[in-house]
Structure 1
Amino acid sequence: MQPEQQLANETNPAALHPNWQHDDHLINLLARNAREYPDRVAMRERDQGIWQEYTWADYLDQVLSFAAGLEARGVGEEDNILVIGDNRPALYFGMLGAVALRAVPSPAYPDTTPDEVADQLRREGIRFALAEDQEQVDKLLQIRESYPELELVIYDDPRGLAGKEPSGVAAFRDIAAEGRKRLEGDASLRGSLTGRATVHDVAVLLHSSGTTGAPKGIPLKHGHILAGVRNAAAAGYFDQGEIHMAYLPLAWVGDFIFSVGAAIALQFSVNIPERQETALHDLREIAPTLYFSSPRAWSNMLTRIQVGIDESTGFKRWLYNRFMPFAVELERRRLNGQAPSGGERAWRALGEVLVYGPIKDQLGLGRVERPYTAGEAIGEEVFLFFRALGLNLRQFYGQTENCALCAAQDPDTLKLHTVGKPFPGVDVRISDDGEIIMRGDNVFDGYYNKPESTAETLQDGWLHTGDAGYLEEDGQIVVLGRVSEVVYTAAGERFIPTYVENHLKFSQYIKDVCVVGEGRDHLTAIVCIDIDAVGHWAEEHGVPYTSYADLSQKQPVYDLLQGVIAHVNTKLPEGLQIRRFVNLHKEFDPDDGEVTRTRKLRRNVIDQHYAPIIEALYDGRTEIEYEARITYETGESGVLRRHLAIRDLPAAGNQ
């Protein structure tokens, strides 16, 4: 899309989406829910152990009251409003209150640094912010010292703030109370606030991960979100009245689509855990019917199960070891088209009573009918395990630019190596250079104030996803990795580092890994161990350790990781096998700029930070004394010296 074409679309948005209906927007649908299901629970929050409920009538009242209060404080159309914090009802109400005014919520991850938040405020000209608690308010007040344009900071949690608010800081409940008085004094205001938005308005301003530079703003309109949700529902991936747990970051597209878009369009009951730390405990009380989690979280859940089994009674371990391998193998054969025998079905039914059902109940997944994963590839071991439990786990595929809803695996034609077929209403094809491109009403209309980036990404109505892949004969999509990351070894071997990295991260023992090899004679890897999984392994095998850095350098841990990497090497051509690796003394850290908030690698930063280690990986050394500059919580900095071992791997024969 050319810049002048984008400008034309902005002045006449209906030309882009002629089938959209003017009044088909989230606020109108919320009002419909309040009218048709006033007493049905729309949202629940666990607060100090007690579930606080909001009906659809309460939900609408909170949104409109806050909208009226915001308007009285000067918020108007197209104002961008920062939203920062963990999942809280007030933050959801606040985002939709802004939307009712035709303003735009712009969420940030709660652990975003002050510098990163300040950049977002400046890029988007933000004057108003909605924050969860004192921690976030303090962050914003620090920023306001150099960014005085931030006029008003609104907070939800009163602890440490109530009655002691600095100038320009106000409580959510006070803003809502002011708005409620306006609504009581003006009989027409409620209807006005409900009907101002249009299907062509931006409902949320999300952001790219920023792996190669500053994050790009991704405006998603009401029409985009509702098209994506309805496409997924038409394919059976959402159902009316789902019970859903909202615990994923507000700034991530998946949370807005599930917890706001789909929840309002399909009358979900959205349940919010007390804290991120209690999410897994609260999950059991919630017992959702719809559950979405990242591959990393599914892997962590499997590790938790395995640790629990190891620490249980001998009889329980015997039952688990008798029934789980059987169920995994049965599921593997089923996916290969082999039907179980009558005896196997009977044994599977017995296992459901003795093992599979109790595990699902303990996890809080006993009622889940639609469990999903997305964001990156999931390990075959993890995927098969949860499907063997009887969970119909499937992968989604999408990007923020298409509301995260492009394709998903179908339960009847599921293949481990694909991400499934496109949803109804979504067209997918492969470009001449092997890139996955797609179009549909769920595709955004362009980046925020980035016409050149828009022109690169949207061409002739097609979204260029940036992913390399291909379509199988039955229309299923295979994703290989990012097109921009296709590189070549010195011998001209073409490879995508993320493809190799994902296969390594299928192991529970590897949290992050960076594969190096562009222009080199062979591939090497910088590995960050998973402290929980490797720590448990170390305890089980009598390997003492004092810290992450100490554990990472233990020779038995190197042996463990060498086995993982050697196994992956058997699946790679000889020229693309990893020949050397090092265990890093620390995790890749988003605060150090090494990974994004969604844990995508920033390779240029890693190349810079660990240049001496990379050099040692290729010059034959078997160890390196590495000096790392660190910044303490006080702001003071220092140098940390670590002795890192480097391990060689022999070439592996392909299987």
Structure 2
Amino acid sequence: MSTPNETIPGRLFKQAERRPDAPAHHVKSGGVYRPKSYRELADEVKRLGKAMIALGQKPGFTTCILGFNKSEWVAFDVATMAVGGAPAGIYTTCSPEEVAYIVHHAESEIVLLEDGGQWAKIEKMLGELPRLKHVVTMRGAPRIDHPMVVSYEAFLDKGNDVSDVDFFARIDALEPQGLATLIYTSGTTGPPKGVMLSHENLAWTADAAQKLVGGNAQDSVLSYLPLSHIAEQMFTIHGCITMGAAAYFAEGIDKVPDNLKEVQPTLFFGVPRIWEKFYAGVQGKLKEAKGAKKALVAWAMDVARDATAERMRGREPRGALGLQYKLAQRLVFSKLKAAIGLSRARTCVSGAAPVSKEILEFFASLDIIVSEVYGQSEDTGPTTFNRTNNTKLGTVGTKLDGVEVKIGEDGEILVKGPNVFLGYYKEQQATADTLVDGWLHSGDLGQFDKDGFLSITGRKKEIIITAGGKNIAPKNIEAALKNHPPIAEAVVIGDRRKFLTALVVIDPAAAGELAGAPGADLAKLREDPSVVAAVQKAVDSVNSTLARVETVKKFHILDRAFTIESGELTPTLKLKRRVVHDHYASEIDRMYEGANDA
């Protein structure tokens, strides 16, 4: 029997008992952020849990949640866990068919959703969801006239006749190894699989995360990345509840820049594309600086490079450097960081996909150390982490304390520890293939350096095997190409071919500058001679660092960016190579015409 403090729901009620009036959530209402206390959140979770009990949900049930990050998302998630169920988040970008697949696969009788748009997906597929009984709309959603649909407030009232004793008996009965949540992977290869995480997985990893970032009850986060992803859950739900910190909910993905400036969180998590957008925006502003201001910024950036290099080795800048660093912070960085919303950020994290070393170095020159984390849903988020005081840019850090990480004979990263998942929901063979003798087979290829820092060298399933039998990891080549403007995205091709080629997406701002045509669309820019020449120069530069068999012989510039809507990116912005290959099969074939490559 576990004690309440060993589960995330138990920790919530401990926080409500110890610090009832402390803010748990901040929700935008009437143009301002309004706090919701830990007492109020715990009471809401209790009422939701009682409603689930009243509707006959027995331990082992599941619920699904479909909507943008809101306080109700978190409350419903924790309430499901509290009464012995497992919540499953669904990405808001999922199609009706994908939504129905997850609701059906999870066998959920209750779904919480955001609005009429998400209800339309469910309504379209109702004929394929015989188990679904109750649909709950989040606060503020328009009334939906359907016998299955109830408002959030009406759902809260359904448990009024269930006693507190019955509710807390459910929490007390939770087992550390019991199923706590389902994380449906975004499916770069086939249908999504339900990653089963236990109560111990969540509680142990939240403790580890707190230690890694030195988290405390004064911390705050901005919740904006999909809550169906384990990394955002760890920040918004499990980490905040464990630390007693506060989560601010962004008004929408388009409002993140504004909300970030308002909130100025102490902990900030972004996927690489978020950092790339910051990078492009800040660079654009810095280019506008002239004269003395330009010289001041250049001086401050030089000082920050030296100072952050010291800090990343666990040393504080001293002497002349220390004095210059304090001056640079006061004159430049205090204003610059406030302008992007990171003036109070003690720890900034990048994860979910590889980020360019050049971008990390740029932020270090702005006195912002971005800590890259590596992991996956199957180990509750983190495997390795670049601690602020022990960072090596270009690596994904050192392993978490209490976790074993080793490199297999074929270069695959293997993980064992309290954060490793229970298996895939209703997928015995997939579980057996991934979990071998307690070791999680990550599917990623990597290597440790002499100091214990891990570098990711590729993805096992993405290895290109050329017609000549050479094994090539495309990720590093693609990352190197992306370091050269105007290349924004690159996909290396070459499986069963005699040589490598690349599909290239260009950045419209950088390409427009080269072409002297700001605002032009990609279809025009891709044909501009100066843009083509810049891409060729980038390819030549990268090729000069590679073995001959790894060099890119030809490239094709695409007329649009990859998108989630077109199916080329997952909701977490990972590339779906198979889809890209299918969409651009004729363009790929043209690069090999007359080459007799097959």
Which of 84, 104, 125 aligns to 2:86? It is 104
Which of 168, 182, 187 aligns to 2:161? It is 182
For residues 314-353 of structure 1, the aligned pairs below 5 Å read 316-325=293-302, 327-328=304-305, 331=308, 342-353=319-330
Q: Residue 583 of structure 1 corresponds to which residue in structure 2?
A: 557
Is residue 266 from structure 1 mapped to residue 243 from structure 2 by the alignment?
A: yes
Residue-by-residue CA offset, 1:165-219 (whole Å, 9 max, x unaligned)? 222111112111333x335xx3534533543433233222002231221111101
CA contact (8 A) 2:216 2:244 kept: no
CA RMSD of aligned residues (A): 2.6
Is residue 388 from structure 1 mapped to residue 365 from structure 2 by the alignment?
A: yes
Q: Residue 56 of structure 1 corresponds to which residue in structure 2?
A: 38
Distance 1:442 1:384, change over 3 A: same
Distance 1:175 1:314, change over 3 A: farther
Q: Give 1:528's aligned amino acid.
A: V
Residue-by-residue CA offset, 1:347-367 (whole Å, 9 max, x unaligned)? 333322222221111111111
Shift in Å at residue 293 of structure 1? 0.8
Q: Residue 644 of structure 1 corresponds to which residue in structure 2?
A: none
Q: Give 1:441's aligned amino acid.
A: P
Distance 1:146 1:434, change over 3 A: closer
CA contact (8 A) 2:371 2:388 kept: yes
Distance 1:235 1:272, change over 3 A: closer
Q: Residue 635 of structure 1 corresponds to which residue in structure 2?
A: none
Q: Residue 102 of structure 2 corresponds to which residue in structure 1?
A: 120
Q: Residue 458 of structure 1 corresponds to which residue in structure 2?
A: 435
Which of 27, 36, 49 aligns to 2:9? It is 27
Shift in Å at residue 564 of structure 1? 3.0
Give the distance between the partners of 2:193 and 2:415, measured in 1 at CA: 20
Which of 126, 132, 147 aligns to 1:144? It is 126
Distance 1:138 1:514, change over 3 A: same
Give the distance between the partners of 1:474 and 1:251, measured in 2 at CA: 34
Q: Give 1:572's aligned amino acid.
A: L
Is residue 68 from structure 1 mapped to residue 45 from structure 2 by the alignment?
A: no
CA contact (8 A) 1:376 1:502 kept: no
CA contact (8 A) 2:4 2:172 kept: no
Q: Residue 208 of structure 1 corresponds to which residue in structure 2?
A: 185
CA contact (8 A) 1:220 1:403 kept: yes
Give the distance between the partners of 1:84 and 1:114, measured in 2 at CA: 11
Give the distance between the partners of 2:301 and 2:286, measured in 1 at CA: 12
Q: Give 1:35's aligned amino acid.
A: E
Q: Give 1:182's aligned amino acid.
A: D
5+ long unaligned stretches in structure 2: none
Is residue 571 from structure 1 mapped to residue 545 from structure 2 by the alignment?
A: yes
Give the distance between the partners of 1:218 and 1:129, measured in 2 at CA: 19
Shift in Å at residue 126 of structure 1? 2.5
Is residue 518 from structure 1 mapped to residue 495 from structure 2 by the alignment?
A: yes
Q: Residue 577 of structure 2 corresponds to which residue in structure 1?
A: 603
5+ long unaligned stretches in structure 1: 1-13, 15-19, 622-655
CA contact (8 A) 1:309 1:316 kept: no
Shift in Å at residue 401 of structure 1? 0.5
Distance 1:620 1:351, change over 3 A: farther
CA contact (8 A) 2:492 2:501 kept: yes
Which of 564, 584, 590 aligns to 1:616? It is 590
Shift in Å at residue 72 of structure 1? 2.5
Residue-by-residue CA offset, 1:99-124 (whole Å, 9 max, x unaligned)? 12212111011111111112212222
Distance 1:333 1:67, change over 3 A: closer
Distance 1:315 1:71, change over 3 A: farther
CA contact (8 A) 1:41 1:54 kept: yes
Residue-by-residue CA offset, 1:605-630 (whole Å, 9 max, x unaligned)? 22222111111111269xxxxxxxxx
Which of 286, 290, 299 aligns to 2:267? It is 290
Distance 1:275 1:417, change over 3 A: closer
Distance 1:541 1:165, change over 3 A: same
Q: What SS does the aligned partner of 1:292 have?
A: strand
Residue-by-residue CA offset, 1:7-64 (whole Å, 9 max, x unaligned)? xxxxxxx9xxxxx768621111111011001011111112341112111100101111
Q: What SS does the aligned partner of 2:87 have?
A: strand
Number of aligned pairs?
595
Give the distance between the partners of 2:494 and 2:122, measured in 1 at CA: 41
Q: Residue 136 of structure 2 corresponds to which residue in structure 1?
A: 154
Give the distance between the partners of 2:4 and 2:306, measured in 1 at CA: 52
Give the distance between the partners of 2:471 and 2:314, measured in 1 at CA: 33
Q: Give 1:124's aligned amino acid.
A: A
Is residue 558 from structure 1 mapped to residue 535 from structure 2 by the alignment?
A: no
CA contact (8 A) 1:45 1:89 kept: yes
Q: Residue 115 of structure 2 corresponds to which residue in structure 1?
A: 133
Q: Give 2:161's aligned amino acid.
A: R
Q: What SS does the aligned partner of 2:101 have?
A: helix
Give the distance between the partners of 2:482 and 2:30, measured in 1 at CA: 36
CA contact (8 A) 2:312 2:388 kept: no
Shift in Å at residue 76 of structure 1? 3.1
Distance 1:90 1:340, change over 3 A: closer
TM-score, with normalisation over the residues of structure 1?
A: 0.85
Distance 1:174 1:335, change over 3 A: closer
390-399 vs 110-119, which moves further: 390-399
Give the distance between the partners of 2:308 and 2:516, measured in 1 at CA: 34
Which of 484, 503, 515 aligns to 2:480? It is 503
CA contact (8 A) 1:235 1:424 kept: no
Q: Residue 636 of structure 1 corresponds to which residue in structure 2?
A: none
Give the distance between the partners of 1:334 and 1:130, measured in 2 at CA: 45
Distance 1:312 1:170, change over 3 A: farther
Is residue 84 from structure 1 mapped to residue 44 from structure 2 by the alignment?
A: no
Q: Give 1:570's aligned amino acid.
A: S
Distance 1:548 1:140, change over 3 A: farther
Q: Percent identity?
A: 28
Shift in Å at residue 392 of structure 1? 2.9
580-589 vs 145-154, which moves further: 145-154
Q: What SS does the aligned partner of 1:568 have?
A: helix
Q: Residue 173 of structure 1 corresponds to which residue in structure 2?
A: 153
580-589 vs 25-34, which moves further: 580-589
Q: What SS does the aligned partner of 1:591 have?
A: coil
